[in-house]
Every structure is written in C-alpha cells, then in structure tokens.
Amino acid sequence: MSSFAIIGGDAHPQLARRLAQEAGAPMVPATVARFADGETRVRIEGDVSGADLYLVQPTSPPVNEHLMSLALLADAARAAGAARITAVVPYFGYARQDARKAPGEPRSAQLACRLLECAGVQRFVALELHSPALDSAFHMPLHPLDADPVAVPAIRAWGLEALAIVAPDAGGLKRAQRYAAALRAPLSVVTKTRTGADASAALALLGEVRGRNCVIVDDLVSTGGTLAGAAKALRGAGAASVHAFFVHAVMAPEALERLAAAGVQRLVTTDSVAFAPRAGLEVISVAPLLGEAIKKLRSGAAPSPS
C-alpha cells in the first residue's frame, strides 16, 4: 500500500494539519457542509483510490454532527476506493455511555462504534479513552493511546515540591496511579457520586494531602463539577495548592470559572478538541504523539499505549 494520505474532518482542521506535518503525509482536501434542511454533506476533493487513508476527527461537541461527518467521510472514502481507512479520533464522544446504568438505556458507545464500522472505518486510533472497558465495543482493531507522554513531563516541569497526584473519582484511579508512579509522588483519590446526568458531588478523600501541592488528573472536563468537587475536598483537607491536568477540554462555557472559584490555581489541557483560547488555560499539543502513532501504524507496528 504505497500512497498515504490524511483527511481532516470539520471538528479540528488545525490539529489534522499539524498531524499531517508530524506524520509527513499529504493532506487530501474535503468539504463538510450542511444542506438547507440540516443534513450533512461531505465531498472528498482529491484522489484517495488505493490510499492508506487516515481520517482525523475528534467527535467533540457538537458530538452528533462530528460523528456523522466522520461516518460520511469514511463512506465517501470507501466508495472512492481507499485501500484502508483508519479513524484517528483524538476525543471519542459517547465513550462515557459504554454500559447500561439503568433499564431502558442504550449502550451508546457500542452503537457509535458500529456506525463507524458500517461506514467503512477499519482501524481506530483513540486518545485517552474514557475507560479500558470500551475495548469490547470495538470489533475493528483499536489502538488506544494514553496522554501520559504529554502529561507527565508537563507536570514534572512545574517543579512542585511535596507533590501529590489525585484521582477525582474512582474511575480515574488507574490513570492517576500511572502518573504518581512516573512522578514518584503519593496518590490520593476523591470518591464521587453522580447526582444527575451532568452533576456530581464529592464525598470523601482517601490519602493524606495536608501541606501538599496537589495535581488532579482526569480524562476530561465538561461541566467542571468533578474537578471542582475534588478541589474543594483537597482544600478542605489542608492541601497547600491545587492544580489540574485534563486531556479533553469538552468544556461548558462556565466550567473554567467554576474551577477557578473552587481554588484550582493552574489548569493544563491538550488540543485533542478544538476550542477558542481561554485566559488561564494552558494547552499542550498532542500532534507529536498522534503523528508518532500514525508513523508506527504505517511501518506495520502497533503504537504502544503510553
């Protein structure tokens, strides 16, 4: 399979361009637009026949729009004769709905995977998937990447004395454990309970944080409620300072203010999704990490998760 190409969807063209540079791949232009009735219209504007094609598209908000345009691009690429289609999805929306939590609910993550498979996606590269359990949702080969190579050096560079790494809920424990081990820092966890579809309350703190500079690590911020609750619990337990690193900034507009009000001094995230620059939010690019993964896949090797 000789020709190699990247197509950026409508969710994050800037990251797609950076990724193409990192991976040394030509970009094939594609248009994503809307018909008057709201339906999505896509068109691949170049030759992808026989190509080893990488479609770059986080399915970030508006999630349904971005998921559908990714599926349509895959279908268009298959119809145009692409030899292999790999979706590179820096943020996978619907990933938090991977299990039925109550009768009458769907398994939305599984459905989103099936949609993309039906559309022609043959391999899936994902960054910081919400849960390892999602593996079973994919029938195609899945290459999950952790953001550790980006996060750990960034946190180390802050040079915080008496560092502690904190998981803001039990679901984030494994990630926080990895960071704590890499940074040789003690680990704490805040237990949390959901009080609504988009609301949670912090319950208890396990681990000693008094006098420590705490870094909360999480996969994403949406409403900011989880991180704010954890920050309050840490401050209440005598933490010297509270900072946060999260991978996906799928933030509601008020999330940053909420986090500042909860006493989070430093907020660092990545460019896995597109958002307008916001004062007080540092951003590290994941383009080198994803570019390396594409290069490995091109060479026939599987990218290592972390």
**Enzyme catalytic residues:** 192
Q: Per rule CB under 6 A, is residue 220 in the interface with ligand R5P?
A: yes
Find where tokens 């219209």 sit.
Answer: 41
| Least Å from the CB of residue 131 to ligand R5P | 8
**26 contacts 297 by C-beta, under 8 angstroms:** no
Contact 193, 203 (CB under 8 A): yes
Q: Which one of residues 224, 273, 291, 293 is an interface residue with ligand R5P (CB under 6 A)? A: 224
- Please report how close the Cβ of residue 61 comes to ligand R5P at its closest, in angstroms: 12
- Minimum CB distance to ligand R5P, residue 133 (Å): 12
Site for ligand R5P (CB under 6 A): which residue of 166, 218, 271, 290?
218
C-alpha triplet 141, 147, 149: angle, nearest 5°? 115
> CA distances (Å), 279 to each of 145, 261, 267, in order?
28, 15, 10
Q: Minimum Å distance from CB 275 to ligand R5P?
A: 14
Judged by CB under 6 A, which stretch of 53-61, 78-86, 216-224, 285-293 contacts ligand R5P?
Answer: 216-224
In the block, which residue shows the tokens 């797609």? 16
Map residues 161-180 to x or -, x wherever contact with ligand R5P holds by CB under 6 A.
-------xx-xx--------
Give yes or no for residue 219 binding ligand R5P (CB under 6 A).
yes
Tokens 């999805």 correspond to 89
Q: Quick check: 225 binds ligand R5P (CB under 6 A)?
A: yes
> Which of residues 120 and 229 has its CB atom nearest to ligand R5P in the complex?
229
Given a contact cutoff of 8 angstroms between Cβ atoms, the answer to whether 94 and 64 are in contact is no
Choices 44-52, 69-77, 218-226, 261-269; region in contact with ligand R5P by CB under 6 A: 218-226
**Which tokens sit at 1?**
């399979």
Closest to ligand R5P by CB, 85 or 134: 134
CB-based contacts of 129: which residues, under 8 Å, 6+ apart? Answer: 92, 95, 144
227 CB-near residues (< 8 Å, 6+ apart): 168, 216, 218, 221, 244, 246, 259, 262, 264
C-beta of 41 vs 174, nearer to ligand R5P:
174
- Which residue's CB is nearer to ligand R5P, number 33 or number 201? 201
Closer CB to ligand R5P, 219 or 271, in the complex: 219
Contact 92, 81 (CB under 8 A): no
By CB under 6 A, name the binding residues for ligand R5P. Answer: 96, 168-169, 171-172, 198, 200, 218-226
